[in-house]
A = this chain, B = another copy of it.
């Protein structure tokens, strides 16, 4: 442990000696420049309030001494941390990585540093991360999805900091959302396939437990199918990890179902879909001739696999940018609270879907 023994309590009455902690303090800079601490602080934070010559002397002193302001001291005195937080499920994924890097860019440009937390799809871990961020004094927070324990939202309310839910969009939520309607998006995908004449469907999906987006996606499929009076039961929905391996394995499973095999397979995301396409290749199943396959996300690779994947494009970068801007506008007092923004999704029809036999 790096514990520094504290100096004797009774200090000399004179100005404290330098380097008590090894690190240069604003006070040291002030002494070096022959001004008061207030002036040093002003020279950096409100430069227009100090005479030019004094300011230059201060800046020079700080430069010479390699002074780095201490953010903790500053935070304590000003009750401003200039830190924002983002909680995402995982970084192992283009989707959230794009969101985060866009947020980072926006915040960074405005002088904010971003704290990142990954929950690994565990709501409890997400809750812990949020508490840690609040303790660190984040001034705003973005969090993916709505599926979080109520205590999390309660803590956020109590902390009185602006926050937005990203990726999901729920018009009835008591908080701001920046995202899109997962249910509607999957209805669009499903209808695209129905319009192509498909009547026998299957789905390969990531688990919907602890994941409101996935649950909404499945609901979207079911609703569209019900509307078209198409059967779809438990057996038609394979659930497992969102990996290419699971996609491949599941697709092989579906193709082995003989007469009852689907002519259209809706995958929960592009990764699963690409696994399915790969399996089709090795099984010599014609896509889309024998079976159509759809993905979701429009990952970079979606247009590079063969056949190119029909999928739904979401502008995750834009989600990140919008979310960060909403939060900043509240922090900077330009608005009272973040405003929900619904993004549109765009079906990218490519070569993995075609007419039913």
Enumerate chain A interface residues (CB-CB to B < 8 A): 1-2, 4, 21-22, 66, 68-73, 75-76, 79-81, 83, 90-94, 97-98, 100-101, 104-105, 108, 113-118, 120, 129, 131-137, 139, 155, 158-160, 244, 271, 274-275, 278, 281, 300-301, 304-306, 331-333
Contact = CB atoms under 8 A, between A and B. Distances in A.
Nearest to A247: B304
Given A2-B331, A244-B300, A22 B135 contact: no
Contacts of A100: 91, 116
A305 B278 CA distance: 8
Nearest to A90: B101
A158 B66 contact: yes
Nearest to A75: B72
Contact of A115 (B75, B80, B91, B115): B115
Contact of A68 (B81, B116, B135): B135
Given A101-B118, A118-B105, A281-B306, A2 B333 contact: yes
B101 A91 contact: yes
Contacts of A83: 136
Contacts of A76: 70, 72-73, 76
A265 to B, nearest CB: 17
A185 to B, nearest CB: 23
Given A72-B76, A75-B72, A92 B81 contact: no
10 contacts: A2-B331, A68-B159, A72-B137, A76-B76, A105-B120, A113-B132, A113-B133, A115-B116, A244-B300, A305-B305
Contacts of A94: 92, 94
The 5 nearest A-B residue pairs measured at CB? A72-B75, A91-B101, A71-B136, A91-B97, A72-B72
A98 B22 CA distance: 35
Contacts of A281: 306
A83 B94 CA distance: 26
Contacts of A80: 2
A160 to B, nearest CB: 7
Contacts of A97: 91-93, 97
Nearest to A73: B76
Contacts of A101: 90-92, 118
Given A1-B333, A4-B79, A159-B68, A113 B91 contact: no
A69 B135 contact: yes
A332 B1 contact: yes
A274 B94 CA distance: 17
Contacts of A135: 68-71
A68 to B, nearest CB: 5
A353 to B, nearest CB: 19
Nearest to A114: B116
A284 to B, nearest CB: 13
Given A92-B97, A278-B304, A301-B304, 14 more contacts: A2-B331, A2-B333, A68-B134, A71-B72, A104-B118, A108-B117, A108-B129, A113-B132, A113-B133, A113-B136, A244-B304, A271-B300, A274-B304, A304-B305
B72 A81 contact: yes
Contacts of A79: 4, 21
Contacts of A304: 244, 274-275, 278, 301, 305
Contacts of A333: 1-2
